[in-house]
Amino acid sequence: MKKGILLVNLGSPDSPEPKDVKKYLGEFLMDERVIDIPYAARALLVKGIILKTRPKASSEAYKKIWWEEGSPLIVLSQRLQDKLQQQIEYPVALAMRYGRMTIKKGLQELVDKGVEEVLLFPLYPQFAMATTETITVLAEELRLAHFPNLKIESVPAFYNKPDYIEVLSNSIKRHLEDKNYDHLLFSYHGVPERHIRKSDITNSHCKIDKSCCETPSKAHEFCYRHQCLEVTRLVGERLQLKEGSYSTSFQSRLGFDPWLLPYTDRTIERLGKEGVKNMAIVTPAFVSDCLETLEEIAMEGQEIFHEMGGQDFTTVPCLNDDSEWVALLSKWIKTWANSKTAIL
C-alpha cells in the first residue's frame, strides 16, 4: 500500500483584516469541540456576541505579527513540511483544521498521488478535544464520506516521549545558553476546566485539584492538564532545573468559564512583583510560533513584566523547523512506514 503523511495544524485567517479574522473565528469557535455548548447557545454566543467585537481586536493583534509571506503559523508549518519532505520518500501534505487549507484538500492531494494509507499527524504534543480530537474526528468523517478506501492512522499525543523531551530540552538549552534568567515559565494554551473533565475516560478521576494529575490513572492518556504538567516536569528533570526556578501556567483564556490555572498573564505579573528581574518563557503547546506566542507572550507578556519592574524577558521560539525536530519527525514517520506497529 502506498503511504503518505498529512500534517495538520490549527490554521489562521487569510489575512489580518477584520473580515478575514471574523470568517476564521466564526469557523473555529463554532466547532463543538472548541466551544462545547449546545448549538443554539454556541451560535448565540459566537455570532451574537464574540464575532461582534473580537475580530477587530484580534485583527489588530494579527497585524502586529503578520509576515510578508503570510501568517507565521502557516509559513512555519510549510517550512516544516518542506524540510520533512526532503528527508522522507513518501508524500508529505499539510492541512489546517480551520481555513482554506482544509483536511479534505490535504487527503485529496495524497490520494491524487496514489496514496492508500495515510499517517494523520496532528501537530500538538498534548491531547485536547479542541485540537487533536477535532482533527481525528473530522478526518474520519471525511474518510467515510469521500475516501472510503483510504486507511488513516492517527499519531497520538507525544508529550512524554523521551526523544521529544530531548529535542525540546535541547532547544530550550540552546536558546537560553547565554541568558542569565531567574525563572523559566512554561506557558501552555489554556482550555476550560470542563474540557478536562469531559475527556476523563474513567469518569471518576479528574478533580482538577493539586493531586489528580500526579496520581497515576488511565485518564492521563487524554488529560491535557496532566500532559502539560508532565512536559514541564520531564524537561525540568532533563535540564536539571532547580526546584522553584521554573513553573507552569496557562494562557489565552476566553469567556467567563473557569479555565486552567494559574493564568500566564497573572503569573508574569506576580513574578515581576516578587522581584524576578530576568525571566524566560517557553510555550510547548505550540509546535509553530503563532499569534499566541508572538503577540500574547512576546509582546503583551513582556509589557506586563516590564510594568512590574522586570528587566530581561526572553522567549524561546517554538520548535518550528528546528533540524533536530525535523529529524525526530522523520524518524517517527519512517518507524511507522517500516513496521506494522503503532508509530509511538
Ligand X SMILES: C=CC1=C(C)c2cc3[nH]c(cc4nc(cc5[nH]c(cc1n2)c(C)c5CCC(=O)O)C(CCC(=O)O)=C4C)c(C)c3C=C
DSSP assignment of 158-223 equals: -TT-HHHHHHHHHHHHHHHTT---SEEEEEEE--BHHHHHHT-TTSSS---SSSGGGS--GGGGG-
**Among residues 6, 157, 276, 285, the one that binds ligand X under rule CB under 6 A:** 285
How many residues appear in the chain?
Answer: 344
d(CA 138, CA 150): 14
Q: If contact means CB under 5 to 8 A according to the sort of partner, which of Fe ion, ligand X, none does residue 290 touch?
A: ligand X
The verdict on 229 binding ligand X (CB under 6 A) reads: no
Measured from the CB atom, is 69 or 89 closer to ligand X? 69
Q: Which of residues 28-47 bind ligand X (CB under 6 A)?
A: 34-35
Q: What are phi and psi of 120, to 5 degrees?
A: -90, 120
Q: Is 212 in the site for Fe ion (CB under 5 A)?
A: yes
CB nearer to ligand X: pick between 90 and 127:
127
* Least distance between ligand X and beta carbon 278 (Å): 27
- For 3-30, the three-class secondary structure string (H helix, E strand, C coil) is EEEEEEECCCCCCCCHHHHHHHHHHHHC
In the complex, minimum distance from the CB of residue 176 to ligand X, in angstroms, rounded to a whole number:
23
Binds ligand X by CB under 6 A, chosen from 59, 77, 78, 131 = 131
CB count in 10 Å sphere of residue 290: 25
Task: Write down the least CB distance from residue 155 to ligand X, Å.
Answer: 15
Pairing of strands 151-154, 117-122: parallel
Q: Is 130 in the site for ligand X (CB under 6 A)?
A: yes
Q: Is 329 in the site for ligand X (CB under 6 A)?
A: no
CA distance 196 to 199: 5
Q: How many chain residues bind ligand X (CB under 6 A)?
A: 23
Taking the complex as a whole, the smallest distance from the CB of residue 61 to ligand X amounts, in Å, to 7
Q: Does 291 bind ligand X (CB under 6 A)?
A: yes
Query: Are 11 and 28 contacting, i.e. CB atoms less than 8 angstroms apart?
Result: yes
Using the contact rule CB under 6 A, the part of the chain among 38-46, 207-215, 290-298, 315-323 near ligand X is 290-298
Q: For residue 264, what are the contacts with CB-CB under 8 A and spacing of at least 6? A: 185, 187, 249, 250, 251, 296, 297, 301
Beta strands in 107-154 (DSSP E): 117-122, 151-154
* Structure-block grid coordinates of residue 81: 513540511
The interface region with ligand X, picked from 81-89, 179-187, 208-216, 284-292 by CB under 6 A, is 284-292
H/E element holding 249? strand 246-251
Q: Which does 185 bind (CB under 5 to 8 A by kind): Fe ion, ligand X, none?
A: none
Q: How far is the CB of 110 from ligand X (least distance, A)?
A: 24
Q: Choose, by CB under 5 A, the member of 213, 282, 304, 318 that binds Fe ion.
A: 213
Min CB(116)–Fe ion separation in Å: 34
73 touches ligand X by CB under 6 A = yes
Q: Determine if residue 195 is labeled as part of a ligand binding site.
A: no
Contact 157, 225 (CB under 8 A): no
- Which residues contact Fe ion by CB under 5 A? 206, 212-213
- Which residues contact ligand X by CB under 6 A? 10, 12, 25, 34-35, 54, 58, 71, 73, 124, 128, 130-131, 189, 191, 224, 252, 254, 285-286, 290-292
